[in-house]
Amino acid sequence: MAIKRTLSRYWMKHNNHGRSKPLVVYPKIPVFGHAIVQAHSPQGPIPPSNHNTFTSWAKVYTVFSVPLIQAVQKQNKALAFEPIQAKFSVKLCGSSQEAYHILEEDMDTENGKYGNIYLAMHQALNLGKTLNELNQAMALRHHVNLATTDAVYGPHNPFQNPNVEGAFWEFEREIPKLLYLPDWLARNGVRNRKLVADAFQNYFCNDYHKQASGLVQDFHTSEIAYGFSLSDRSLFEVGHALAILANTSAAVFWTVFYVFSTPGALREIREEISTIITSSVDDANTRKHCIDMTKVNTNCPILVSTFREAIRLHSIGISLRQVCKDSVLDGTYYLRKDAMVLMPTAAIHTNPLVWGPDVLEFNYRRFHPSNPHKVSPAAFRSFGGGTTLCPGRHFATTQVMAWTIMLVTRFDMEPVVGQWVQPTTENTNLANVMMSLDHDFHVEMSAREIYRDGNWSMRVTNNDAMFGATVEDLEWREKE
């Protein structure tokens, strides 16, 4: 209700050229009102609204309309993410002013040459050899986080050290303080960030990155070419690890939670998965089971739909842009230079005008091809969009699918409390793009008799295994 009250006062202004300025929303509490409302919003920083945009006194434009979001993404020079990336990378990672000056100079969207480092991430995580190697290394490990970091950092993965792993999650919890407070008020975060960065510095000094994934090697080569110091490269790697780890385990949890708590979905998904498993017996009389991940997209539409629906309901990320020059958005809205543009995922994902009256309910068939209620693919924002579309979406999706398939296939699962009660997420870190649990969720697992024995493997080396999770991916598939 507090959020709705802040939207009660607004009016339309017009510039000298006849273009509309976005609606202005004033808080009841002067200056700090918006900040207070945002801090207490369980759905994330910006609430859903029927208005296209709103502007605070600090010139922050917030976009709630799918067509307008697409218009923002098309103006990637005038409405750019790179300047924001430079500022937040340095603040979050604690790198030097020298590193900031390098990023600031090369992130000039008109004349700068920055792009090699970000391009390296996209190239390494796009469909192809490097992504296949990452997926193959990840698929059958025992723990999501260790499996992911082993795949990325190789045999000398710093996260194999429990102290480093523990320090990383302590750092992750302190991110809000690190972003908004001086270092002396965020000492715990600074201390743990340094512990992880020191581990990465040792990693690079010993050339362990040469045995890592193409992603790490390409980043390392690009950062050296830009002249970043060893200290700054190590601090930036803490930020890279955050991007790799922060949301994967949450996405796995929500997908598994909804599959097992929805009997119809569980039954249908198990039937689908059975079509992509081949079993055999070798000369030593050992049973072998192989899951063909390349067939998930074609054979398991219910599983894919359930995954997308699970992360739709629990995505809270915000796409950001900085207005680099006075611009007109979609031929209508006049945006001032140096303002910020926010595109909150939760606002789109919870809009009944887009998704229908059951927008807040879990519907495992919502994204199924047979669903008569068609929604624009652009409305699905869990991986962002445009030039800032998450480059790791294929890798992350394959991880979630692999863990879900193994658990669904091999185990029965029941909550210890006796019923599937959705856990609270009030303490989710604002740096995450997925809601995280306030407390552990305890379950009892038992092996299914049908797949109780044997060795398991996964086939993940075919580019056709790509999951069409975003409008950009769907367009790519149509061109093939």
Q: Which residues are annotated as a binding site?
A: 390
In terms of Cβ atoms closer than 10 Å to its own Cβ (0-12, 13-18, 19+), residue 478 is exposed
| 79 and 322 Cβ atoms separated by less than 8 Å | yes
Report the residue count for the chain. 480
Q: Work out the number of other CB atoms within 10 angstroms of the CB of residue 11.
A: 9
How far is residue 242's CA from residue 125's CA, in Å, rounded to a whole number? 16
How far is residue 31's CA from residue 381's CA, in Å, rounded to a whole number? 30
Smallest CA-to-CA distance from 134 within 456, 420, 452, 394 is with 394
* Pairing of β 455-459 and β 287-292: parallel
State the amino acid at position 312 in one-letter form: R
Main-chain dihedrals φ then ψ at residue 467, nearest 5 degrees: -95, 130
How far is residue 345's CA from residue 432's CA, in Å, rounded to a whole number? 12
DSSP secondary structure string for all residues of 398-454: HHHHHHHHHHHHHEEEEETTSS-PPPP-TT--TT-SB---SS---EEEEE-GGGSSS
| 141 and 249 Cβ atoms separated by less than 8 Å | no
Distances 394 to 119, 399, 405 between C-alpha atoms, Å:
16, 9, 16
The SS3 call for residue 333 is: strand
The HSE-up count of residue 137 (CA atoms within 13 Å, CB side) is 23
Which residues, in sequence order, are bridge partners of residue 434?
Answer: 315
State the amino acid at position 74 in one-letter form: K
How far is residue 430's CA from residue 35's CA, in Å, rounded to a whole number? 13
Smallest CA-to-CA distance from 151 within 231, 244, 36 is with 244
The SS3 call for residue 233 is: helix
Q: Binding site for heme, residues?
A: 390
Q: Work out the number of other CB atoms within 10 angstroms of the CB of residue 335.
A: 25
Rg of the chain, C-alpha, whole Å:
23
- Strand ranges, E, within 12-158: 53-55, 60-63, 79-80
Residue 206, Ramachandran bin (φ over 0: left; ψ between -120 and 50: alpha; else beta):
alpha
